[in-house]
Amino acid sequence: MKKISSYEGRQKHVRAMRMPEIEVWANQYAGRDFVVDLDIPEFTCICPKTGLPDFALIKVSYQPAKVCLELKSLKMYLIQYRQLGIFHEHLVNRLLDDFVKACRPRWMRVDVVMNPRGGIGTSVSAEYKKK
């Protein structure tokens, strides 16, 4: 018999939770292929099980289409995670969903490299390709 985890039901809210809007600005080189790389080395969120802080490096790479992500609003968006309990796997997917929704890129990849917790480091990646 499969044991039910004490994590059960703790993350049902992740896809529906409201977060600050990420602003964008017009890409003057929308006809050109180029890649934007963002590194966020001091990201923090909360472990949903223990309530202790988790620390991570977030890397975002994307090929803009008509607009680019505005960095101040991105920072304000990311700060909201400091008080949010979220699993690493849900974090990377929620970030990707919100970033893609904001800027509709041609392509985007989000990598989350968590600092080790309990001697185990976790890295999770998610990618979007425009169809």
**Rounded to whole angstroms, how far apart are CA atoms 35 and 128?**
14
6 within a domain of the structure (yes/no): no
130 within a domain of the structure (yes/no): no
pLDDT, position 8: 54
**pTM to 2 decimals?**
0.89
84 within a domain of the structure (yes/no): yes
5 within a domain of the structure (yes/no): no
- Catalytic residue from among 39, 45, 47, 111: 47
70 within a domain of the structure (yes/no): yes
- Catalytic residue from among 33, 37, 39, 54: 54
**3-class DSSP state for residue 71?**
helix
121 within a domain of the structure (yes/no): no
Is 103 one of the annotated active-site residues of the chain? no
Tally the domains of the chain.
1
Residue 101 contacts by C-beta under 8 Å, 6 or more apart in sequence? none
74 within a domain of the structure (yes/no): yes
Phi, psi dihedral angles at 74 (to 5 degrees): -65, -45
pLDDT in tens, the chain (131 residues): 555 555 555 566 777 778 899 999 999 999 999 999 999 999 999 988 888 999 999 999 999 999 999 999 999 999 999 988 899 999 999 999 999 999 999 999 999 999 998 899 999 999 999 88
**What range does the domain containing 87 cover?**
24-116
H or E stretch covering 120: strand 120-129
CATH of the domain at 99: 3.30.1130.10
State the distance between the two ends of the chain, measured CA to CA, in whole angstroms. Answer: 42
Phi, psi dihedral angles at 12 (to 5 degrees): -65, -25
Is 39 one of the annotated active-site residues of the chain? no
